[in-house]
Structure formats: C-alpha cells, structure tokens
C-alpha cells in the first residue's frame, strides 16, 4: 500500500481549513438566531410582558459577517498560498467586525431591546434590569477565534498546496534515481539494436 504523499497531505489540510471557516460561519448564524437579551416590561393592558431580542435583531450585521465567512471558507478550499493570505485577511476582518459590534451591543443591552419594547407595548421605555444570555458572550468568543484563524492563514503558517498540485504527474522512479532509460540516449539505443537486443 502506498503511503500518502506530501501533496495529498497538504490538500487534506486545505480541506480541513476550509471546513473550519465554514463551521465558524454556521456557528455565527446559529448564535445570532438565539435570544441575547430579555426583560419584563409593564404593559398598559395585559400587565407585565416578556420582551426578547435575538442576536440578529441586536446586531443585524452578523448575518452579513456569516455570509462573508461562508464565502471565504469555500474560497479557501480552492486558492493557492497567495490567495490563502488574502482570504485569511478577509476572515480576520469579518471576525473583528462581528466581535466589535457584539461588544458594543453588550455594553448597552437596553438599546438593543428598545425597538422590541416599543413594538410590544407602544412605549420605548426599557427597564433597567435586562437579562443577557451567555450566547451573546459566546458569539464574542467565536469572533475572537475567527480573528485568530484568519491571522493564521494571513501569516501563511503550515503547509499549503498550489492549485494545480493534484494534476502534477508523478516523477519516474528511474529518472529520479539517476537511472536513465536506454531510449533517452540514441547512441545506447543503436548499440543495443546492433547487439540484437530490444532496448525497450
């Protein structure tokens, strides 16, 4: 059984790297769809009302960040070393944008609930007590991980194949070891024919 070549190993590394970015994109989608903030708001008719806001409501740009990561993950599975650096920078930038926006909302959760409260009660007053879900902080942690991942690719760390590596023809063992075929030398071919032997 033939051992896997270095080129095949590098292609496998590229595939895993692409899947990691795609998984991060799906993670952002999932975390953004969960509830980030909630509060009990007094209503004019039905008394106290529970109002909640998802990550997508609080930070609408998270959907765009996830789409950028999804596209970057797909591109990462196709590009060579130079393209990898460009895609890596894009991944790091997307992670930084998502993380900064999430932190800004976490610093003022009441503002994130204001529209939801106004739509539910008709009044834009948000109570001081707003519950923050751990999912919001988990999103920030994921964004930091995405920045680190993007920086890794931007720095060009680890082995990475060229786009045409899978189409390269294997080297002839005889040629690689320095043993040339008789057909490569016309003089040797003629001598072999003169001796009555088949040079092939």
- pLDDT at residue 196, rounded to an integer: 64
**What are the structure tokens assigned to 19, written together?**
């899947």
pLDDT digits (tens, 9 = 90+) for 11-38: 667 788 899 999 999 999 999 999 999 8
d(CA 69, CA 5): 30
- pLDDT at residue 167, rounded to an integer: 42
pTM above 0.75, yes or no: no
Q: What is the dihedral of CA 144, 70, 90, 157, to 10 degrees?
A: 70
Domains belonging to the chain, first-starting first, are 14-157 (1.20.140)
Q: How confident is the model at residue 92 (pLDDT cuts 50, 70, 90)?
A: very high
Which residues partner with 52 through β-bridges?
38
Contact criterion met (CB below 8 Å) for 38 and 50? yes
Check whether 106 has a pLDDT greater than 90: yes
């Amino acid at each position: 059984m033939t051992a896997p070549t270095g080129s095949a190993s590098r292609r496998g590394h590229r595939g895993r790297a692409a899947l990691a970015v795609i998984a991060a994109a799906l993670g952002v989608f999932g975390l953004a769809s969960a509830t980030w903030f909630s509060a009990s708001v007094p209503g004019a008719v039905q008394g106290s009302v529970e109002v909640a806001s998802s990550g997508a409501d609080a930070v609408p740009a998270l959907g765009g960040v996830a789409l950028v990561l999804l596209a970057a993950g797909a591109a990462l599975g196709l590009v060579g070393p130079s393209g990898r650096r460009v895609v890596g920078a894009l991944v790091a930038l997307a992670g930084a944008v998502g993380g900064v926006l999430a932190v800004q909302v976490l610093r003022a959760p009441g503002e994130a609930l204001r529209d939801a409260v106004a739509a539910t009660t008709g009044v834009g007053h948000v109570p001081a007590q707003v519950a923050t879900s751990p999912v919001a902080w988990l999103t920030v942690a994921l964004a930091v991980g995405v920045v680190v991942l993007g920086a890794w690719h931007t720095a060009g760390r680890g082995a990475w194949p060229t786009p045409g590596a899978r189409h390269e023809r294997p080297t002839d063992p005889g040629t690689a070891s320095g043993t040339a075929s008789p057909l490569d030398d016309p003089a040797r071919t003629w001598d072999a024919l003169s001796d009555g032997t088949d040079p092939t």
